[in-house]
A = this chain, B = another copy of it.
Amino acid sequence: MEKEALRKELKVSAIENGTVIDHIPAASVFQVINILNLSAFENQILFGTNLESQKMGKKGIIKVRSKFFASDEINKIALVAPTATLIVIKNFEVVEKKKVSIPDKVEKIVKCFNPNCITNHEDVPTRFQVIDKTDLKLRCHYCAKITAKDSMTFKS
């Protein structure tokens, strides 16, 4: 019987209290980990990637025990994982479930596309206004150049 249970589809175990980030595009899981800076956490964390998903083909999932993210903290991941669902678990029950949403401002995590921008030459954190949320476009606070989805790179 134990073995039967194990034969079920590979999955990531439940958590009692904390946050589940589901429906992450498989290709973005490690970017999400970087954006959330999970390697610095002392919480128990479970990840799975390249898991089967009826909706998405391949997906990733991240579970962080005893951690409840602020909206602006979690919404940063919408840049690389717009399909992600945020699920808040308390005592094994889902108490909140919502889509992540692209934030109005983006700080630090994205590089400015303009090679001449001060943020690419001095130790100045980047700051952008999101001017198009559908067809992702960010305007740099410093040089006013637009960094669009296709030319977006992330600070490691």
A55 interface residue, CB < 8 Å from B? no
- The 8 Å CB contact of A44, one of B42, B46, B48, is B48
- The 8 Å CB contact of A46, one of B3, B6, B10, B58, is B10
A85 interface residue, CB < 8 Å from B? no
Q: Which of A13-21, A96-104, A144-152 contacts B (4 or more CB under 8 A)?
A: A13-21
Known: A42-B50, A48-B46, A51-B44. A16 touches B12 (CB 8 A): no
A7 interface residue, CB < 8 Å from B? yes
Asked whether B47 lies within 8 Å of A47 as measured between CB atoms, the reply is: yes
Asked whether B16 lies within 8 Å of A13 as measured between CB atoms, the reply is: no
CB A18 to nearest CB in B, in angstroms, measures 9
Cα of A7 to Cα of B14 in the assembled complex, Å: 8
A133 interface residue, CB < 8 Å from B? no
Cα of A42 to Cα of B44 in the assembled complex, Å: 24
A39 interface residue, CB < 8 Å from B? yes
What are the residues of chain B within 8 A of A3 when measuring CB–CB? 92
CB A111 to nearest CB in B, in angstroms, measures 15
A43's nearest neighbour on chain B, judged by CB, is B50
The list of the 7 closest CB pairs from A to B, nearest first, reads A30-B39, A6-B14, A47-B47, A44-B50, A46-B48, A45-B49, A11-B13
List residues of A whose CB falls within 8 A of some B CB. Answer: 3, 6-7, 10-16, 29-30, 33, 39, 41-51, 58, 65, 92, 156
